Amino acid sequence: MREKIEIFEVGPRDGFQSVKVDCILIPTEEKLKVIDNIIAAGIKHIEFSSFVSPKAIPQLADSVEVTKYVLEKYPNIDLFALVPNLKGARTAYELGLDKVCYVVSLSASHNKANINRTHEQSLEAYKEIRENYPDLEIIVDLATSFGCPFEGKYNDTQKIISFLGDYVKAGMKVCCLCDTIGIADPMQVKNVISSIKENYPNLELMVHFHDTRGLGMINTLTAINLGITKVQSTLGGLGGCPFAPGASGNLSTEDLVWMLNEMGYDTGVSFFKILKAAKEQAAMIPGQYSGHQININANLIGLNLDK
Ligand code: COA
Ligand code: ZN
């Protein structure tokens, strides 16, 4: 049996939030079309939006509308949204979602810039969410897991190990290591993941790499070689945190699908359909698409996208 890798598409959140509103406010119908295309390509897990302050992220101010659409249309897809606080979790829960990503940054200065909270306040809010909504599944999205735009790259694993301890104690089951500024290298990925597994053997890990320095793919593959089977990416490689200077595109979903399918992994995703979805998105929504194959003329690689 081929080994299964589950791709978590986070473009409708991480990608769309990065599109400058003075360039275009993405119409809700276009977002829904993109989500339809992603699911039609075989993706089973989608972070479709976030419940945050619309002043902080105006591009995702329509998240309630998007939630109603996806919940009704896709009862069998794993749907989740990012939340920074209890208010966001309440909205998600009351709309009928059973899963959220709770975001906190390993870097105290990025945590302040991104969500205006200290580490203590973020931990308190996490506990509050767990207490109020014990049946809500929470992935802890640990932003700046490998380094931060303000504090630089982390040289050892001490910081992340001691940070995670409080969350494990508070009940964290799943953590997504997010390389918000694409600063990680494969050796660091190996050290961080090995050290977390050693210290917290029951904690499930996911990864989310940006491709700022062209290392998103090799970092993801390094994680897969260490046994990680759930990986995040964005359609077209669109993405970046608006509160992290220099955070350019994510690892692109279609490039990731191509590599994994070629290697014989079972992703359940059609490369042809996901590339077509990426190209359709780029034609509708202007932005920085850092993917590779989205920028290749399809005819040159023998793909007829009109089929
Ligand atoms: N959803 C919608 N609105 C929210 C909200 C949520 N989850 N949390 C707070 N708000 C609103 C409040 O109602 C308040 O609105 P008002 O000004 O109309 O009264 C306003 O936001 C400020 O609330 P406050 O609790 O004082 O928050 P803050 O100013 O300290 O900002 C966050 C904190 C977390 C709300 C804000 O920084 C944020 O939304 N950040 C998201 C960043 C993000 O998504 N980054 C990219 C993903 S990594
Ligand atoms: Zn990201």
CA distance 22 to 57: 13
Please give the pLDDT value at position 247. Answer: 64
Q: Say if residues 173 and 203 touch (Cβ distance below 8 Å).
A: yes
Measured in angstroms, how far is the CA atom of residue 161 from the centroid of ligand 1?
A: 28
Residue with token string 């945050």:
52
pLDDT at 305 > cutoff 70: no
Residue 239 and residue 40: Cα distance in Å, rounded? Answer: 21
Residue 41: inside a domain, yes or no?
Answer: yes
Distance 133 CA to ligand 2 centre (A): 26
The preferred substitution site among 16, 53, 97, 128 for testing ligand 1, maximizing ligand atoms within 8 Å of CB, is 53
Residue 307 lies in a domain: no
* Positions marked catalytic: 241
The range of the structural domain enclosing residue 270 comes to 6-300
Query: What DSSP element (H or E) covers 102?
Result: strand 99-105
> Has residue 277 been placed in a domain?
yes
- Please enumerate in sequence order all residues whose Cβ is within 8 A of that of 96, keeping only pairs 6 or more positions apart, or say none: 67, 71
Asked whether residue 290 is assigned to any structural domain, the reply reads yes
Tokens 């990925």 identify what position?
Answer: 189
Q: What is the mean pLDDT of the chain?
A: 95
In a domain? residue 100: yes
Give tens-digit pLDDT for 26-75.
999 999 999 999 999 999 999 999 999 999 999 999 999 999 999 999 99
The mean per-residue pLDDT over the stretch 216-244 comes to: 92
- Ligand 1, atom nearest to 17 Cα: 46
Q: Global pTM?
A: 0.96
Residue 209 lies in a domain: yes
In a domain, 1, yes or no: no
Q: Is residue 104 part of a domain?
A: yes
Give the count of domains, the chain.
1
The string of pLDDT tens digits covering residues 77-99 is 999 999 999 999 999 999 999 99
Q: Six-digit token pair at 183?
A: 């600063």
> Would the CB of 56 count as within 6 Å of ligand 1?
yes
| Mean pLDDT score, 196-206 | 98
Q: Predicted confidence band at 250 (pLDDT cuts at 50, 70, 90)? A: very high
CATH number at residue 244: 3.20.20.70
